Copies of this chain bind each other. A is one copy, B any other.
Amino acid sequence: MVTKKLKVIPDERGRLMEILRSDDELFRGFGQVYITTAYPGVVKAWHYHQRQFDNFAVIQGMAKVVLYDPREDSPTHGEINEFFAGIHNPLLIQIPPRVYHGFKCISAEEAVILNIPTKAYDYLNPDEYRLDPYNNTIGYDWERKDG
């Protein structure tokens, strides 16, 4: 899993932010661009892909983006990674194939996640494998941790 810090350029008109460039070191090809959003409190999880890399950027609101690595051959096998990404932490998160991922909207406004996967979605044969967000073997608790 690789990340890239994004740079916002704000001015009196609005903001500008580059997200992914074809000359970025982490660029691995272009499949498509889509957005997926979540209302406050909503969890969209768990997914993984066999072939594609995902490139997530939260461009509106804030989301908790969580990764779980079930790959037996990986140095981060069994590990959970939490990112608090969005307008207060502009970040590109690259998710490799076979790594479970999902997100929860933690802001009072809709969180908008932009994804640039390396393959276009195949309607007839989707490269997408799902687990229930709550009932699964990952054992991750999506609840907010107050303290």
Contacts and interface: CB of A to CB of B under 8 A. Distances in A.
Interface in A80-128: 105, 110-112, 114, 116, 120-121
B17 A35 contact: yes
Nearest to A113: B14
Stoichiometry, copies per complex: 2
Interface residues of A, number: 34
A67 interface: no
A59 B33 contact: no
A87 to B, nearest CB: 11
Contacts of A114: 33, 35, 114
Interface of A: 12-23, 30-39, 42, 44, 59-60, 105, 110-112, 114, 116, 120-121
